[in-house]
């Protein structure tokens, strides 16, 4: 049986969620990091925030997470070339 997700500091989370509910929000936020999404789900924050009027949408992913290894290598080579050119000036 899977353990129910729990908040790290339930008392603090409850205070924050209560304040958000009192604000009568209806907002949508987007994050770009898969680690953020993992944290929201792991600690049950996504569901609780939604109840407080805050909808969290997943974005495209952070540049490091979604960029291919080939593109990263090409970028680093380009940067190395620019550094060499800059030093020659």
- Nearest partner of 28 among 55, 60, 48, judged by Cα: 55
Mean pLDDT (whole number) for 66-72: 80
Distance from C-alpha of 29 to C-alpha of 20, rounded to nearest angstrom: 14
Query: What pTM did the predictor assign?
Result: 0.59
Express each pLDDT in 12-61 by its tens digit.
Answer: 888 999 999 999 999 999 887 777 888 888 888 888 899 999 999 887 77
Give the Cβ contact number of residue 87 at 10 Å. 7
pLDDT of residue 28: 93
Q: Per the structure block, which two tokens stand in for 17?
A: 């969620």
pLDDT of residue 88: 52
């Amino acid at each position: 049986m899977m353990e129910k997700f729990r908040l790290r500091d339930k008392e603090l989370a409850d205070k924050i969620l209560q304040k958000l509910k009192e604000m009568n929000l209806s907002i949508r936020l987007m994050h770009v990091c898969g680690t953020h999404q993992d944290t929201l789900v792991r600690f049950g924050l996504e569901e609780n925030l939604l109840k407080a009027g805050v909808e969290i949408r997943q974005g495209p992913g952070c540049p490091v997470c979604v960029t291919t290894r080939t593109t990263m290598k090409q970028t680093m080579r380009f940067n190395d070339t620019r550094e060499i050119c800059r030093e020659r000036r």
